[in-house]
A and B are shown apart, each in its own frame.
Chain A
Amino acid sequence: MSQATLRIQKISGHAGSIPGQDTQRDLQVCKLVDTTTCIGCKACEVACVEWNSMPFSPTTFDNTYQTMPDTRWNYWNLILFNEHEREDGSLQWLMRKHQCMHCAEPGCLEACPADGAIVQYSNGVVDFQQSNCIGCGYCITGCPFNIPKLNSVTKRVYKCSLCTDRISEGLEPACIKSCPTGCLHFGTKEDMLDLAGQRTKQLKEHFGYGNAGVYDPPGVGGTGVIYVLHDATKPELYGGLPANPSIPFVVKLWKHPLKWLGNLAIAGGLIGLFVHYLRFGPKAREDEDIPPVGAQP
């Protein structure tokens, strides 16, 4: 499995064809996060920091279990806590493992202008290549999940790599390996959807969660991280998970119609001016100011 999974199917800011694209079909990898069995222990956070050799990240205290408000350039995986009061007044403690969703249609990759700074492997993993990153931050604008984070010193953007270095060697991602409750699963997208479906059925039939469901948003072509939610009709309750995420409309407008209209206008303008000169030439010749030789005063 090792090298085959690293074949590339999408490259950011890339002119021309993509070498090896579509030569081989690969299984799509997927993380399944079952929020109904997550206990918010943060083992996955620690495993992520350890495996990726990232330093201790300072925490903030805001009278909740939330250790920091958001992921950081060197903190890719964060449990978001929400003490949700239900309509009957009872408390529901919602926890969600927040990280890069590895969209099938990644907004970051769409927005990125740097050749090869963001790639999508044929197994669906979206990975940042910091050596090619120019630090413009367009990926931050393109992402509907608020994931890419800029290191203000190195001016490069970072995020979860779905442990590409591990999964290409047949290992499961570090977060999955560390989960003590088994709320995290890793496998093919097909298998994870199947498992998520079974769990949803269980939640509906045996636990009374009538609105239980799977979060796999079609607006971004589906994601490489899917959630089982107690109430799939209100994903926002889980740390602001967007109900219907998609690549921002302006990013699509900018990267497609505006780009082609702009390119046509620039090329048309250059050709137009050149043809104008061929047809009409200069308005007057500079030497018209000088009387011709032998002219009468």
Chain B
Amino acid sequence: MTHREQLTPHGHVLRYTFPERLNHWVAAGAYLYLVATGLAFWSPWLFWIAVMLGGGQTSRMLHPWAGLIFASSLVYMFVKWSKQMKFEPVDKEWWKSLHFYITNQDDKMPPAGRYNAGQKMLFWSFFFGGLVLLLTGLVLWFTDALPWSWRWLRYVAVILHPTAALITIGNFMIHVYMGVFAERGAFGSVIRGDVSMAFAKRYHPSWYEEIVGNSQPRK
């Protein structure tokens, strides 16, 4: 019996290891700071957020560093999860049945694996959104270092950075809603690490089948 099994109560299964959970909260902390200060720079009506967080100058100074922390946590997620996030035929079916998912008729959903199509979309939107934010963010960070003849790069950055941010914000809101409110038990998986077998069976039937040994795990 391994240490991990000792800590996971009977009828539960470990979904996220400690490094994965820690990385999730590093990403969450950095992202919340980035959104808060980013929104302050986005709208004059929200500039008070920057004032609350130590002033506009401090926010401008720390925002890029928080961005680097967030980008590194995305790299870790990519290394750990990108294979599991590959889109598969069942995901197409899942999208077609999205209205059942939204109206809580989960019994009518095609069987999702460890991640359903929505979670995969969240992952990839954050990965590619994060990539765009990182690249355009570097341009905005060192904007004064660009020569006048390269100003087109500033124009590209200044429009893509908020656009990519908005896309991640939309996904983030759904992510928090699903994890905290809609799928009860999901939040525990990024705190304690485990979910109940009932949770696995209800939301990730194919994954459940793998756990109980009825099917081979996907590579």
Measured CB to CB, the closest approach of chain B to A245, in angstroms, equals: 12
Cβ of A284: which chain B residues have Cβ within 8 Å of it?
106, 183-184, 202
Which of A15, A135, A283 is the most central at the interface, judged by chain B CB atoms within 10 Å of its CB? A283
* Contact pick for B60, options A134, A146, A270, A282, CB 8 Å: A134
Residues of chain B at interface, number, CB under 8 A: 46
Q: When the two chains form their complex, are residues A113 and B181 in contact, meaning their CB atoms are under 8 A apart?
A: no
Mask, A261-272, CB within 8 Å of B = 1, is: 011011001100
Q: When the two chains form their complex, are residues B166 and A262 in contact, meaning their CB atoms are under 8 A apart?
A: yes
Q: When the two chains form their complex, are residues A13 and B57 in contact, meaning their CB atoms are under 8 A apart?
A: no
Measured CB to CB, the closest approach of chain A to B55, in angstroms, equals: 8
A86 at the interface (CB under 8 A from B): no
* Contact pick for A15, options B45, B102, B103, B162, CB 8 Å: B45
* Contact pick for B182, options A249, A259, A283, CB 8 Å: A283
Measured CB to CB, the closest approach of chain B to A112, in angstroms, equals: 10
Q: When the two chains form their complex, are residues A289 and B183 in contact, meaning their CB atoms are under 8 A apart?
A: no
A210 at the interface (CB under 8 A from B): no
Measured CB to CB, the closest approach of chain A to B181, in angstroms, equals: 6
Q: When the two chains form their complex, are residues A259 and B148 in contact, meaning their CB atoms are under 8 A apart?
A: no
* Contact pick for A141, options B104, B154, B173, CB 8 Å: B154
Q: When the two chains form their complex, are residues B151 and A259 in contact, meaning their CB atoms are under 8 A apart?
A: no
B61 at the interface (CB under 8 A from A): yes
Q: When the two chains form their complex, are residues B42 and A277 in contact, meaning their CB atoms are under 8 A apart?
A: no
A197 at the interface (CB under 8 A from B): no
Q: When the two chains form their complex, are residues B170 and A269 in contact, meaning their CB atoms are under 8 A apart?
A: yes
A35 to B185, CA, bound (A): 74
Measured CB to CB, the closest approach of chain B to A152, in angstroms, equals: 7
Measured CB to CB, the closest approach of chain B to A140, in angstroms, equals: 6
Mask, A97-119, CB within 8 Å of B = 1, is: 00000000000000101110000
Of chain A, the residue at the smallest CB distance from B146 is A140
Measured CB to CB, the closest approach of chain B to A146, in angstroms, equals: 5
Measured CB to CB, the closest approach of chain B to A126, in angstroms, equals: 18
Chain B residues 89 to 111 lying within 8 A of chain A, measured CB to CB, are: 102-104, 106
Decide yes or no: A254 and B143 within 8 Å by CB, A282-B181, A283-B182 being known contacts: no
B131 at the interface (CB under 8 A from A): no
Of chain B, the residue at the smallest CB distance from A132 is B56
A273 to B42, CA, bound (A): 23
A45 to B143, CA, bound (A): 26
B33 at the interface (CB under 8 A from A): no
Q: When the two chains form their complex, are residues B173 and A280 in contact, meaning their CB atoms are under 8 A apart?
A: no
Of chain A, the residue at the smallest CB distance from B55 is A134
* A115-B44, A134-B50, A152-B144 given; 13 more Cβ-contact pairs under 8 Å: A132-B56, A133-B57, A141-B151, A141-B158, A251-B158, A258-B159, A262-B42, A269-B170, A269-B173, A277-B177, A284-B183, A286-B184, A286-B185
List 12 interface pairs A-B (beta carbons < 8 Å), by A numbering: A13-B47, A113-B40, A113-B47, A134-B59, A135-B60, A136-B60, A150-B144, A253-B159, A254-B158, A262-B42, A277-B182, A283-B182
Instruction: Identify the A interface with B (CB < 8 A).
Output: 13-15, 70, 111, 113-115, 132-138, 140-141, 146, 149-150, 152, 155, 248-251, 253-254, 258-259, 262-263, 265-266, 269-270, 273, 276-277, 280-286, 288-289
* Closest 10 pairs between A and B when the two form their complex, measured CB to CB: A134-B56, A137-B143, A150-B144, A15-B44, A286-B184, A113-B41, A134-B60, A289-B198, A250-B159, A141-B154
